[in-house]
């Protein structure tokens, strides 16, 4: 009797199956981003050195610090410093803030005509009082006509160069004055390439918990462009949970990466279906902090300024690691790279990752008792031609200072 032997399995059949991506690449206009992750703009934090560090660890869209449209149009040196990009940045993403459609349009035109950006993001999420009291940031979408005009001006100015425009917003002014669904539909209709939602109101600031169900509702309302979720993303597992809960097309990370640029490696792995996570020991953390300081010194062209800039990052980098209070204090007061090196040399560079103590919430967690708004701002959705509201908007455009994102 002849026996037929089964064919031996091929090497490929014996190999473990390749992980399946959790999300497809993120498409923003002409740009296809393999890892659907965006670095949220944070004033004084997400400058070119920090973006470079994050890019070295992972992939995604790394957006500039917020710059005011008026300052850019007036060509202030600081505004051009803010829109300078780190080597290798692609796409080159700039976030703009403004309340006057003509000024926002002019700023976008400048960016595209002078080849300073491949992608423009509009800030409608900033909850800071000096922005909202003038009708900007998270306050602006309440005035639906003004919101429409600002978005339209930006999209129109960017279109000839094929540069996509996106918007980042909050759920509203407060729980009684939500704006995100209407604003999302308007932005989609006006031709934006994506909509990002920080699932908190301006009144919440950074307190409490982000309402991820709002992201799910926005995803249901906005159907033709990507919807990105933001809020309470402190780990790769948080990102996976947000995607599973909301169906969002990508995630926007802010405070979660403070002192942890390697979070972008975790996010890239997680969204690709890979369980690998970074758990750096203190030696790696110290080396990253030192490199960050060096990049800041080079960026500012001033050792003292660069060292002062790194100070605010020290507590974030060292969160959970065995570093004494006196040494932490010294690190937070360094004036030179030599002082930084001396202090870092005193760390136990053999210490491993401390586990949960190094994870979790970081950055601001406070709320605000009342959102600062122009007088009568919430009376209706229309924009009056005269009065306190009109005066506040005019004052906002006269201000050429930048502030934090949302």
Residue range 348-380, pLDDT digits in tens? 999 999 999 999 888 777 776 689 999 999 999
Residues 337 and 197 in one domain: no
Cα–Cα distance measured from residue 64 to residue 53, given in angstroms and rounded to the nearest whole number: 13
Residues 88 and 193 in one domain: yes
Instruction: Give the pLDDT of residue 220.
Output: 98
pLDDT of 302 higher than 50: yes
Residues 207 and 342 in one domain: no
pLDDT of 7 higher than 80: no
Residues 290 and 181 in one domain: no
Structure confidence by residue, pLDDT tens digits, 189-241: 999 999 999 999 999 999 999 999 999 999 999 999 999 999 999 999 999 99
Cα–Cα distance measured from residue 210 to residue 212, given in angstroms and rounded to the nearest whole number: 6
Structural domain contains residue 389? no
Cα–Cα distance measured from residue 90 to residue 50, given in angstroms and rounded to the nearest whole number: 15
**Number of structural domains found in the chain:** 2
Residues 238 and 288 in one domain: no
Cα–Cα distance measured from residue 40 to residue 126, given in angstroms and rounded to the nearest whole number: 11
Residues 120 and 94 in one domain: yes
**Percent of the chain with pLDDT strictly greater than 70:** 89
Instruction: Give the pLDDT of residue 366.
Output: 73
Residues 346 and 253 in one domain: no
Q: Active-site residue among 126, 248, 257, 307?
A: 126
Residue range(s) defining the domain that contains residue 337: 282-358
Residues 175 and 242 in one domain: yes
Residues 274 and 299 in one domain: no
> Residue 183's domain is classified under what CATH number?
3.20.20.70
CA 51 and chain centroid, separation: 10
Residues 256 and 326 in one domain: no
Structural domain contains residue 366? no
The 3 state secondary structure assigned to 187-204 is: HHHCCCCEEEEEEEECCC
Structural domain contains residue 79? yes
Cα–Cα distance measured from residue 253 to residue 267, given in angstroms and rounded to the nearest whole number: 10
User: What value, to the nearest 5°, has the Cα angle with vertex 289 and ends 50 and 333?
Assistant: 105
Structural domain contains residue 298? yes
307 is catalytic: no
Instruction: Give the pLDDT of residue 406.
Output: 58
pTM of the predicted model, to two decimals? 0.90
Structure confidence by residue, pLDDT tens digits, 87-140: 889 999 999 999 999 999 999 999 999 999 999 999 999 999 999 999 999 999
Cα–Cα distance measured from residue 196 to residue 39, given in angstroms and rounded to the nearest whole number: 11
Cα–Cα distance measured from residue 366 to residue 3, given in angstroms and rounded to the nearest whole number: 75
């Amino acid at each position: 009797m002849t026996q037929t032997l089964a064919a031996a399995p091929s090497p490929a059949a014996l190999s473990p199956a390749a992980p399946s991506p959790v999300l497809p690449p993120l498409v923003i206009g002409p740009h296809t981003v393999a890892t659907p992750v965006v670095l949220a703009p944070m004033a004084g934090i997400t400058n070119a050195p920090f973006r470079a560090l994050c890019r070295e660890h992972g992939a995604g869209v790394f957006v500039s610090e917020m710059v005011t449209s008026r300052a850019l149009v007036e060509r202030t040196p600081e505004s051009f410093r803010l829109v300078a990009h780190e080597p290798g940045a692609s796409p080159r993403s700039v976030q703009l803030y403004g309340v006057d459609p003509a000024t926002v349009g002019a700023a976008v035109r400048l960016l595209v005509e002078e080849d300073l950006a491949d992608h423009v993001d509009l800030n409608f999420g900033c909850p800071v009082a000096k922005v909202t009291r003038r009708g900007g940031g998270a306050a602006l979408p309440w005035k639906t006509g003004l919101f429409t005009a600002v978005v339209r001006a930006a999209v129109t100015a960017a279109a000839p160069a094929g540069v996509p425009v996106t918007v980042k917003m909050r759920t509203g002014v407060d729980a009684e004055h939500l704006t995100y669904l209407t604003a999302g539909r308007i932005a989609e209709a006006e031709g934006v390439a994506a909509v990002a939602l920080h699932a908190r109101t301006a009144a919440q600031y950074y307190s409490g918990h982000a309402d991820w169900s709002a992201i799910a509702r926005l995803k249901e309302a906005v159907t033709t462009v990507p919807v990105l979720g933001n809020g309470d993303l402190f780990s790769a597992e948080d990102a996976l949970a947000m995607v599973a809960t909301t169906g969002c097309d990508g995630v926007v990370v802010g405070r979660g990466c403070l002192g942890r640029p390697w979070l972008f490696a975790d996010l890239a792995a997680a969204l690709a279906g890979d369980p690998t996570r970074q758990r750096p020991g203190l030696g790696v953390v110290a080396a990253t902090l030192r490199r960050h300081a060096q990049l800041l010194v080079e960026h500012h062209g001033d050792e003292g300024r660069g060292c002062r800039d790194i100070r605010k990052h020290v507590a974030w980098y060292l969160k959970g690691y065995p570093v004494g209070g006196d040494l932490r204090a010294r690190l937070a007061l360094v004036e030179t790279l030599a002082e930084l090196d001396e202090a870092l040399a005193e760390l136990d560079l053999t210490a491993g990752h401390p586990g949960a103590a190094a994870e979790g919430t970081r950055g601001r967690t406070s709320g605000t008792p009342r959102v600062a708004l122009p007088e009568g701002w919430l009376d209706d959705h229309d924009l009056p031609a005269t009065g306190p509201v009109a005066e506040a908007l005019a004052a906002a455009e006269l201000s050429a200072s930048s502030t934090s994102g949302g």
